[in-house]
Amino acid sequence: MAKRSALGAALAFLVIIGPLTTSSARASADRKSVANDEQVCDPLADYFLGMEDYSEAIERHEKVIAEHPDNALAHYHLGFAYGLTGQHQKELEQYQEAIKLGLDDWQLFLNLGLLYLEAGNLHAATEVLKLAILLGPGRAETHYNLGLVYQREGNLDKAEQEVLLSLEIDPNQSDARNSLGTIYAEEGKYNRAQTEWKDLVNADPTYAPARQNLAILRKMENDEAKSRRHPQDASNTP
């Protein structure tokens, strides 16, 4: 088999922190987001949503929708609650209904984009997150998550661009800086990746992903150096 670079082979082990690996996989449902000035959601239903009592929030939002089926905001909040309980098909249906009824809130499209990303529908995630950026300009999280989608697709130039835009808006994003380092590494820009992770560790020694990625990068470099010194061993690498 063809020789494989030790650097390239180890990239799969880099620690990429994204919305799918955190408890905050969804953006918060903003109770003030409305399809029109008169439309509001039930305050008590939203109270239970905010208190993370999702079963009660779901029941109360379902009652709101039964009485007011055209309440786009209630559909969005119900979908949000469904998503946080793992009912993703119902989540999708409620988001789609909210959009159909005219709700054009950027957080709705951000959450829909994250849902598509979780499902592996990268094309749909890309298009929806682009809409979220148009609807909510200047939001760091929309650019960051679009960058994650581009990275998943292997479109590293656009991934780098979006994550850098996110960091311009909010430089204090450890996860975004870590992800930028992984993008640099995938692009072969190992010095930039190393600098990004070192700066992260210096700023916050407790931030484990950057420390882990630095360790992986050092191992990659050591393995690459060994392969140069002992090419006969590298030729046996599958």
Question: Rounded to whole angstroms, how far apart are CA atoms 26 and 1?
Answer: 44
Residue 168's pLDDT is: 97
Confidence of residue 116 (pLDDT cuts 50, 70, 90): very high
Question: Rounded to whole angstroms, how far apart are CA atoms 216 and 202?
Answer: 17
Is the separation of the CB atoms in 216 and 185 below 8 Å?
A: no
Confidence of residue 220 (pLDDT cuts 50, 70, 90): confident
- Is the pLDDT reported for residue 22 higher than 50? no
pLDDT in tens, 47-100: 999 999 999 999 999 999 999 999 999 999 999 999 999 999 999 999 999 999
- Residue 76 vs residues 32, 54, 69, 231: alpha-carbon distances, Å: 12, 14, 12, 58
Confidence of residue 197 (pLDDT cuts 50, 70, 90): very high
> In percent, how much of the chain has pLDDT > 90?
74
Question: Rounded to whole angstroms, how far apart are CA atoms 226 and 208?
Answer: 27
Is the separation of the CB atoms in 158 and 143 below 8 Å?
A: no
Least confident of 87-96, 125-134, 219-228: 219-228
Residue 34's pLDDT is: 39
- Is the pLDDT reported for residue 37 higher than 80? no
Pull the structure tokens for residue 220. 């990659």
Q: Mean pLDDT over residues 162-169, rounded? A: 97
Residue 5's pLDDT is: 39
